Each structure stands twice: as structure tokens, then as C-alpha cells.
A = this chain, B = another copy of it.
Amino acid sequence: MDYVNGPGRNHLFVPGPVNIPDQVIRAMNRNNEDYRSPAVPALTKILLEDVKKIFKTTSGTPFLIPTTGTGAWESALTNTLSPGDRTVSFLIGQFSLLWIDQQQRLGFNVDVVESDWGQGANLDILASKIAADTTHSIKAICIVHNETATGVTNNLATVRNILDHYQHPALFLVDGVSSICALDFRMDEWGIDVALTGSQKALSLPTGMGIVCASPKALEATKTAKSVRVFFDWNDYLKFYKMGTYWPYTPSIQLLYGLRAALDLIFEEGLDNVVARHSRLGKATRLAVEAWGLKNCTQKEEWVSDTVTAVVVPSYIDSSDIVRRAWKRYNLSLGLGLNKVAGKVFRIGHLGNLNELQLLGCLAGVEMVLKDVGYPVKLGSGVAAASGYLQNSTPLIPSRI
């Protein structure tokens, strides 16, 4: 069934789906169960409490939806907004583009703020729009925390500050797909109204669970939101939450147990340590890129992403060749450049349950591929830059001290 075995383990460095830790694979290695027995609601109840911790929220209400990130987006939008509502959305890469496309197709009046791919959301423009919107025609700010296509992280605290400064009541909807559980994320502190992620990203699970968390204000908004929704309707969940049976339709038993194991690992490591580890791996990757003499697609330090690095290749190289060759020769999976940056960048995903040596193996592989395609890289240069930093900053594994 594996048509394309290679010797050894695949180095999976696409920015999702990411490596699943063995503990999680084990936890999911099971038969189905009756989800109406007392066991599954008991498990779910605790999961719903615990999953709030990865959003850093105590007041939010989480929904574990059998869907992908795309479905989680739709859930966030349709439960809180009505067709014709004005949203402000930032086009800075492929995933923000797709979300904007969804917003348009769902019938919202999308006020698009575009930046060059490689730049962050232009929050100055946001500020001016908010300032100007004295009639509160803007119903929601929709922003991707971390644009996976370009490796750009936006500053969510600033968004909140702008809204607060102008006492603007717009909902604050955040795609945290490639950030939550990896980057610093504070739903309550930053006043986020809907935050969402997908199981296959930093949570390091298989694809199939969209995790959406709604603030009390977002829940209130559902009462007036006129967008048509059934499968994604939070009210169906809330009804079953009240009954204590939790599920309006059949959940994946395996993903529930997997989520339990994934959260256990994250809490054992400590969420702040998890974020610090991503910061370490992100920095190490950027140092390698610099040592190779290549450019990060991210144009300013303030936007660099600790979960994905998009590396710009020289114009005489097609970045797709790099991705293809990495897979064909070294069993290394890298991310393609998408849309506007197709052929121009390749991406290294460094998120999820990952450690220093896995990353260094990847970086050593990238070096060889770069040489393969004719880029005059000094082999070992990126690894040295990265390991120089990591050797100084990596802590002992707490459970092994």
C-alpha cells in the first residue's frame, strides 16, 4: 500500500500535516466505540476544558468539528456574520487569499487590505479604516495569525489595541491554523472573538478536526447572524453540550483519544516551553537560510514566523525542483511555493512535535538539494549556523534531568 517506500524515515517538513508523535499514533490505534455510552461524553467534557488552555482562554467556548481548517473558517464566519456584512481582511499570501475568497463566496462585503507577499498585514490601514468607521459598518476583522504560504506572523495585540483605541465593536476573527500550540497566542488577553486551528498543524494530529473557540461576544453574535449554516451551526453543539451528550453528530473516536494524548504531551512539556521550542527552531532555521546566502520571503524581522520559513531561491532555480528532488533523493518533504510565489520559494515547516536534531537533519538535506540544483551552497554552513545557536539555547529535557 506504500507505493513509494524509501529507506528510513521520511523527514516531514511541510508546514502541515506535520509529524504525529508515537504516543499519539498509539492512542489512536483503536477500534470504534459507541459515542453515546457514558465513556465518550466523559472524555469529551475534559477535552473541552483542556483544549481551552491552548487558546489561553477561560471564557471561550470550544467546538471540536469534524472538518478541516477550511471548514473551521466557515464555522467562524457563518456563526457570527450575516450576508452583506462588511469584513476587513488582509491579503498577504495564499491562505489569507483563500479565506478572503471564502468570505466573498459566503456573501460578505470584504474590504481587502493587500500587501506584498512576504509582508505582514498592513495594520496602519486597518487603523485608518477603523478610525474612519464611526458608524461601525465593519462587522469583523478577519486575520490570519501566521500566513503559512510566506512565513509571516501578524501582530494580533496591535489589532486589539486599534479596536480598543477606537472603541470599535467589530468582531475579531483569527485563523490560528499554523500558530496555535506553537506561537504565543492569547485569546482572552487579546480579546479575540473566534480563534481556530486544525488538528494536523501544531497539535500534531491527523487531519480531521477543526478546533474553533468562540468568545461570549461571538456566541452572542450567533443570535443575529443570518448566514445559512447547519453542519457548522454552533447551536447544535451547544444544545448537546447542555444535555451532556456533547455530539450533534458522530465524532471520530480516534481523534478524541489522539487529542487527549496530544494535549497530555503539550501540558507535560508545558505550553510555554512548546512555544519556546518553536521559537528556537524558527530562529535556527533562519540562521541557516542566512548562512546559505538565501533570503527569507518574510520581508521584515517583525513578521518572521517560528512555524514556517519560506526560502526565496535565486531566479535561475525553480523552487519546485528543490521540493521534488528533496523527496525523490533524500526522503525529505518540503513545502512548495504557492500561487504568486510558486517556483520562487520553497518552505520549511518547523512546527509540531519536533526537535532540534530532526530540524538539523532537514537542514542538512536542504543543503544537499541546493547543491544538487546548482546553487553554490557551502555544505554544512546552514547546519553550523543553526547548531551554533541551538547548542547554546536548547534546555535539558525536563523528564530526563
Contacts and interface: CB of A to CB of B under 8 A. Distances in A.
A106 interface: yes
Interface string A9-34: 11110101111111101111111111
Nearest to A381: B380
Interface string A326-356: 0111111101100000000000000001111
Given A33-B12, A228-B107, A329-B396, A7 B357 contact: no
Nearest to A385: B380
Contacts of A360: 360-361, 364-365, 383
B1 A74 contact: no
Interface string A243-265: 00000111111110100110001
Contact of A69 (B8, B227, B250, B384): B250
Given A106-B230, A254-B206, A368 B353 contact: no
Given A206-B253, A327-B34, A399 B4 contact: yes
B1 A353 contact: no
A109 interface: no
A68 interface: yes
A9 B362 CA distance: 13
B7 A354 contact: yes
Given A33-B12, A327-B37, A228 B356 contact: no
Interface in A352-383: 353-358, 360-362, 364-365, 367-368, 371-372, 378-381, 383
A12 B396 CA distance: 18
A232 B232 CA distance: 11
19 contacts: A2-B39, A3-B39, A4-B397, A6-B400, A7-B355, A9-B22, A17-B35, A18-B32, A19-B32, A32-B200, A32-B207, A66-B66, A66-B68, A70-B248, A73-B231, A105-B228, A328-B396, A379-B383, A380-B385
